[in-house]
Amino acid sequence: MRTRAIMAELVIGGILAVCVGLLIDFTRDYFHRDESARWPTASAVVTVSRVRDGYLKAVKAYAPQVEYRYTVAGSEHIGSRLRFSYLSDWGSESAANRTISALPVGRQIDVHYNPEKPWESVVEGGLSQDEEETYYFLAGLGLFFSIAFALMLWQVRTAQRTKAYSG
Query: Is residue 106 located within the same domain as residue 145?
Result: no
Which stretches of the chain are DSSP H helices? 2-35, 93-101, 129-166
- Residue 12: is its pLDDT beyond 90? no
Q: Looking at the DSSP assignment, which residues form a beta bridge with residue 61?
A: 54
Please indicate whether residue 70 or residue 144 has the higher confidence score (pLDDT).
70
Reported as a pLDDT band with limits 50, 70 and 90, residue 75 is very high
Torsion of CA 54, 34, 39, 87, to 10 degrees: 10
**Is there a domain that residue 147 lies in?**
yes
Query: Is residue 82 located within the same domain as residue 109?
Result: yes
What is the per-residue pLDDT across 77-93, written as a single tens digit (0 to 9) for each? 999 999 876 556 788 89
**Is there a domain that residue 6 lies in?**
yes
Most confident of 6-15, 30-39, 124-133: 30-39
Query: Is residue 17 located within the same domain as residue 44?
Result: no
**Is there a domain that residue 129 lies in?**
no
Residue 42: CB atoms within 10 Å: 19
Q: What are phi and psi of 39, to 5 degrees?
A: -65, 155
Query: Is residue 45 located within the same domain as residue 91?
Result: yes
Most confident of 27-31, 45-49, 83-87, 123-127: 45-49
**Is there a domain that residue 108 lies in?**
yes
Query: Is residue 52 located within the same domain as residue 116?
Result: yes
Query: What is the total count of domains within the chain?
Result: 2
Q: What is the pLDDT of residue 91?
A: 84
Give this prediction's pTM: 0.67
Please indicate whether residue 3 or residue 76 has the higher confidence score (pLDDT).
76
| Domain limits for position 141 | 2-33+134-166
**Is there a domain that residue 64 lies in?**
yes
